[in-house]
Amino acid sequence: MVLLGTIVNAVAIIAGALLGSLLSGIKENMRVTVMQGISLAVFILGIQMGMASKNFLLVIFSLVAGSILGEWWKIEEKLQTLGRWLESRVGGKGRGRGSISTAFVTATLVYCVGAMAILGSLDSGLRNDHQVLFTKAMLDGFSAIIFASALGIGVIFSAVPVFLYQGAIALSASYINELVDKEMLLIIVNEITATGGIMIMAIAINLLELKRIRVANMLPALIVVSLGVPFVENWPHIQKWIENLL
């Protein structure tokens, strides 16, 4: 079953969020300190991911171009609108810990931006091997407990975009495999990971409330960098072709 790993991942997030939302007896100062610890850990994770790049100029260009597209398309605003709609349906702010829209957007970005989501989904689609997504499900489930205890029940709704995002990759894996050779795919995933790592750092800054960064508006950078890698890798051939034309 191609979608087994994705389904398990989504269910783990739901279960973790439900369990975390029950931890309402934690004192506010303890919750704040725990959330700050998580934020710092997320920041370090982002640094590690960001260091994966072999072409940082491409990452910078992708972030600039992607941010322009994201601001133009108003992705953050649309996600917040969706979150507020969920808020109105569920009934306001989950247990007073923060808005459902904030929890939904934050958790969605954390769970979708990363190499495991992409590689795990590709493994599920190409080889029917779900080990990577099973591992991600365990990690996401535990983090959902922490996020939900600090941010509220809105974390549970992040299971939907995770399912759609990873499911789409898994279902289109065979097409991706035919379109992109394995070596090029690994380079693309590497640069996507680095670009996503910078976004993860921005999420940590948001969680620490140091500065409000519209991270969702940077998401198109992932598309830009994935399209930019083949161009950069084949630039010598492209340059030679242009010289022959001239």
What letter would DSSP give residue 98? S
Picking from 104, 108, 218, the residue whose alpha carbon sits closest to that of residue 163 is 108
Residue 106 and residue 100: Cα distance in Å, rounded?
10
CA angle 72, 75, 80 (to 5 degrees): 135
Residue 200 and residue 222: Cα distance in Å, rounded?
13
Q: How long, in residues, is the chain? A: 246
What letter would DSSP give residue 3? T
pLDDT for residue 96 is more than 50: no
Does residue 43 contact residue 171 with C-beta atoms inside 8 Å?
A: no
Measure Cα distances from 72 to 65, 85, 89, 203, 220 in Å. Answer: 11, 22, 28, 20, 11
The pLDDT of residue 228 is 96
The angle that helices 56-73 and 220-233 make with each other, rounded to 10 degrees, is 140
Does residue 133 contact residue 120 with C-beta atoms inside 8 Å?
A: yes
Identify the band that residue 95 occupies on the pLDDT scale cut at 50, 70 and 90: very low
Identify the band that residue 21 occupies on the pLDDT scale cut at 50, 70 and 90: confident
Measure Cα distances from 145 to 6, 60, 83, 119, 177 in Å. Answer: 19, 34, 19, 24, 35
Residue 72 and residue 5: Cα distance in Å, rounded?
34
Domain count, the chain: 1
**For the chain, what is the mean pLDDT?**
89
What is the mean predicted confidence (pLDDT) over 109-127?
A: 90
Identify the band that residue 38 occupies on the pLDDT scale cut at 50, 70 and 90: confident
Amino acid identity, residue 124? S
Hunting for tokens 């779900």 — which residue is that? 130
Q: How is residue 193 written in tokens?
A: 């990971």
The pLDDT of residue 216 is 93
pLDDT for residue 91 is more than 80: no
Question: 198-226: per-residue pLDDT in tens?
Answer: 999 999 999 898 999 999 999 999 999 99
* CB hemisphere CA count around 131 (13 angstroms): 2
Range of the structural domain that residue 125 is part of: 4-245
Picking from 147, 242, 229, 150, the residue whose alpha carbon sits closest to that of residue 188 is 229
Identify the band that residue 4 occupies on the pLDDT scale cut at 50, 70 and 90: very high
Question: 166-209: per-residue pLDDT in tens?
Answer: 999 999 987 888 888 889 988 999 999 999 999 999 999 998 98
Q: Which residues contact 46 (CB under 8 A, 6 or more apart)?
A: 197, 198, 199, 200, 201, 202, 203, 204
What is the mean predicted confidence (pLDDT) over 136-147?
A: 91
